Amino acid sequence: MSLQIIPIKTQKEIGLDANLVDLILESSEINDGDILVFSQKIVSKNEGRVLSLSSVNPSLLANGIASSYGKDPRLVELILSESKRIVRMENGIIIVETKHGFVCANAGIDESNVQDGYATLLPDDPDKSANLLKDRIEQKTGKNIAVIISDTFGRPFRLGQTNVAIGIAGLEPILDYNGKPDTFGKIMQVTAIAIADEICSASELVMGKVQKCPIVIVRNYNFSSSDAKIQKMLRSDHDDLFR
């Protein structure tokens, strides 16, 4: 069977009162082995991770950075509050390591697809969010599924953004070929495919940014079940040549 990427569209704004599982089941049938990919934005909105910038009181540090980089000091304050450390600031871009361990621009804070004067923050615990969604869907459907929460990140050395996994539940996120022979019989030593990220990137082709499609079903992909967490995909400081 061929791989399918099935969009789940929504016409109404998602908020705290929305039931994401009912939204899915109203428009789609879930099969055993499906992978459901949720955009970070819909999960953050549903969990109340949306803040009014008018409620933010910038610190002296935030004001200083904002004046140097042409940013809203309230947004900078949110970035600082969601970060472990600043990795680099240059050309108006602030790269940080978030509390989750993600290295990304602006701590994943985003002002798009929310009303003016508001910003969305990443979920507090994306793995927990993914597991809750997985459990609720399985309870209602009786199907065994996996869930990925996806966000858009930039990449070093490459132009353009791509979607990556920031939370996972129920699948092994990396396909490791280490120790296996290639087509010429040579033993592979370093090849490990980030399948959770690749699934998110494929899903983005259907989701888009203005298509009102915050959820996608990926069907007929033969993944390995696992209780792995997203930290499995994060390179350690010891192995990171660029920190």
Instruction: For residue 213, name the pLDDT band (cuts at 50, 70, 90).
Output: confident
The DSSP call for residue 213 is -
What is the predicted pLDDT for the residue at 211? 67
User: 184: phi > 0 → left, psi -120 to 50 → alpha, else beta; which?
Assistant: alpha
Token pair listed for 102: 């993600």
In order, the DSSP letters of 88-115 are EEETTEEEEEETTS-EEEGGG-B-TTS-
For residue 188, is pLDDT > 80?
no
CATH classification number, 50-121, choose in 1.10.3720.10, 3.40.640.10, 3.30.420.40, 3.90.1660.10: 3.90.1660.10
Average pLDDT, the chain: 90
The DSSP call for residue 227 is -
> Contact at 8 Å (CB) between 161 and 155?
yes
d(CA 205, CA 211): 10
What is the predicted pLDDT for the residue at 174? 94
Global confidence as pTM:
0.92
Strands 215-219, 83-90: pairing is unpaired
Q: pLDDT of 136-175, one tens digit each?
A: 999 999 999 999 999 999 888 889 999 999 999 999 999 8
Instruction: Calculate what percentage of the chain has a pLDDT beyond 90.
Output: 68
Is residue 102 exposed (0-12), middle (13-18) or buried (19+ Cβ within 10 Å)?
A: buried
What is the predicted pLDDT for the residue at 239? 77
Instruction: Give the domain ranges of the chain.
Output: 1-44+123-235, 50-121
> Under 8 Å CB-to-CB from 151, ≥6 apart: which residues?
39, 40, 108, 122, 163, 164, 166
What is the predicted pLDDT for the residue at 209? 67
Q: Calculate helix-pair angle for 20-27, 126-141, nearest 10 degrees.
A: 50
For residue 41, is pLDDT > 60?
yes
Q: 15 or 81, which is more confident?
A: 81
> Contact at 8 Å (CB) between 131 and 146?
no
Is residue 72 exposed (0-12), middle (13-18) or buried (19+ Cβ within 10 Å)?
A: middle
For residue 23, is pLDDT > 60?
yes
CATH classification number, 1-44+123-235, choose in 3.30.1330.100, 3.50.50.60, 3.30.460.10, 3.40.50.970: 3.30.1330.100
> Contact at 8 Å (CB) between 7 and 207?
yes
d(CA 188, CA 181): 6
Q: How far is C-alpha 172 from the chain's CA centre?
A: 16
Residue 154 has, within 13 A of its CA and on its CB side, a CA count of: 14
What is the predicted pLDDT for the residue at 76? 94
The DSSP call for residue 156 is T
What is the predicted pLDDT for the residue at 181? 74
For residue 210, is pLDDT > 60?
no
What is the predicted pLDDT for the residue at 236? 82
Question: How many C-beta atoms lie closer than 10 Å to residue 59's C-beta?
Answer: 14
